[in-house]
Structure 1
Amino acid sequence: MHPYVIPLSENLLILGCALFAYREGGIAERIGSVWLACNTIVGSLLLVLRVDSLTTHLVADGVFATGLLPLAVIFASYWVGLVTLAASALFALEAVYLINDWPIDRLFANVNNGLAIAIPLVILCSGLANRRRRRRLAAANGRPGSAGAALI
């Protein structure tokens, strides 16, 4: 199996979550999902170009977390705030290992993978929550074709 199959397929799933959140989310989730997609594309390019060092990941995750912070504050979005916290934790994990010159171990891999999975899942959940909220509002307003109108 080609060594890029798993990371690139993971990145395709992340881009799928970002696309869903872009279609279904509010303005904060849309901007956050575009930012996540840009970060994922840059990460894929670094992987393909074989620029793979802890410092490179540290810089990329730092830029990602820093870019999310104004979104969480300006739009007061809990979803983007949660993604910001996860990205910041990922940045802090990499910074601790880099500064202390610790070798990458199983703890690093497990925490890193957990946070990397949590970020697109939170983005996906934000899209699902916004979709559900919009459908509930449409049903409450009695729009034709909505779930509430079908029950009448």
Structure 2
Amino acid sequence: MDWIMLITKLPRARTTAVKVALWRKLKRLGVYTLQDSVYVLPRSDRTLELLEWVAAELREGGGEASVWEVMARTETQEREMREFFLEQANAQYRKILEDARKGLDLERLQQLWSQFHKVKTQDYLKSPLAMEVRAACERRAQEISEAREMQKRRDS
């Protein structure tokens, strides 16, 4: 598998603000931290563009950044990174599944859908749990719809 690697060097001045902004962006992307200032995402046109944007913003802030296309040198490194990305997505999907299986209302279901779509943006390796979460949310939406219909009939 190919990977995109971002290597950063923060500017000496204003380091705290730049560091916090960089950290937030990388956290939102769900990067794998290979070591200090070295971050990895699975390679796709989208992830390449995302890390290019982060690099450009860091450079504009006075820092240094370079983006590389790389391959893991060992199966162990490859497996470790793949497991990181799958587990990162799966942990969030499991939480959504747990909540979706509870008797929740429409507002909470909408929040779960929103969470689901956010997790999907970080699900770089396309976890099979995504389909299970989608199905559970759709089932719950159907149940809510049917309950509303029954209530309307009773009220009529």
The answer to whether the superposition gives a TM-score over 0.5 is no
Identify the structure with the greater helix proportion: 1
Higher-strand-fraction structure: 2
TM-score when normalising by structure 2? 0.29
Task: Give the TM-score normalised by the residue count of structure 1.
Answer: 0.30
